[in-house]
Structure 1
C-alpha cells in the first residue's frame, strides 16, 4: 500500500468531478498556439511595433541643409522680423584673418538688411554632428572672430541648429533690442 503525503493529495473539486492537475502535469501538456507560434496570451499582450520614420537629421548633409535647415531658419528669422533674408549653402574658404590657408568648408551664409548684416555657420566636416562654428559681420566688414557653435550637445537636431542661430543673432542685438 502506498502512503500519500499531504503534498501529493489532490483535493476534490466541486462540480464536474475533475481533479486539478499538478504543476508537473500542467507543464507537460502542450499549449495551444496560433499560426505565428505565439500562445494566445502572449499574442494579445504584445502590440505591433510602429516603425518611426527616419529623423530629418539622418538625411545626407546637403539634402538636409537645402530641404530642412534653410526653410526652418528662414521661417524662424522671419518670425523675429527679418524680412529680406537671403540664405545660401556654399563651399568656400573661411573669410577670417588667420584662416587663409585652412581648407574650404560648407557654410550657410545669411545676409539681410540690404546686405549690411551677415552671419556664416560653418560645417567643417559636411556633417551636422561634426565640428561647427559661426561668425557675424556688420556693415560689410570682414569677420574677425570665429566662435564655436552648438558644441555641448550630444545629438544635434534641426530645432537645435535653428535655435542656436536665433540665439546668437539675438545676442548680437540684431533681432531685438533690450
Structure 2
C-alpha cells in the first residue's frame, strides 16, 4: 500500500484498531467497554468508568512514541508509562497484545 492509498492514522485507529481491540476485550469477558479516539488519545472505559485506560500517541504515526495510563475508580488515569518503546515495527496485533498485557497486569481481565 502506498502512502497515497494508505488510510489516515485516524481512520486506522477508528476502523481497524478499535474494532480489533473491542473484540479482544469482549473475548475476555469485558462487554461494556467504551473505546474512543480523539486528540491522539485512545481511551477505554468500562464498569461505569470504574476502570479506565488511555493509550497516548506522540504523533499520527503508529511507530511514534506511545504511552499508557490507567486508573481504577472514578479518578482520571494518572501515572504515564512508556508503551512498546523498544519495538521497531509496530502493528495492530502488537498494540493489542501490549494493551492486553497491561490490563492483565492490573488484574482487570477475566479468565476465558
* TM-score between the two structures when normalised by the length of structure 1: 0.58
Moved over 4 A (4+): none
Q: 2:79 corresponds to which residue?
A: 145
* Pair member with larger Rg: 1
Task: Give unmatched runs, 5+ long, in structure 2.
Answer: none
Q: Provide the C-alpha distance between the structure 1 equivalents of 2:107 and 2:33, rounded to a whole number of angstroms.
A: 16
The size of the alignment, in residue pairs, is: 108
Q: 2:106 corresponds to which residue?
A: 172
Q: 1:126 corresponds to which residue?
A: 60
Q: Provide the C-alpha distance between the structure 2 equivalents of 1:142 and 1:65, rounded to a whole number of angstroms.
A: 22
1:1-178 mapped onto 2 (5 Å cutoff): 54=1, 58-91=6-39, 106-176=40-110
Which gives a bigger RCO, structure 1 or 2 (Cα 8 Å, sep 6+)?
Answer: 2
| Maintained 8 Å contact 2:45/2:51 | yes
Task: Give unmatched runs, 5+ long, in structure 1.
Answer: 1-53, 92-105
TM-superposed deviation, 1:145: 0.7
* TM-score between the two structures when normalised by the length of structure 2: 0.90
TM-superposed deviation, 1:120: 0.2
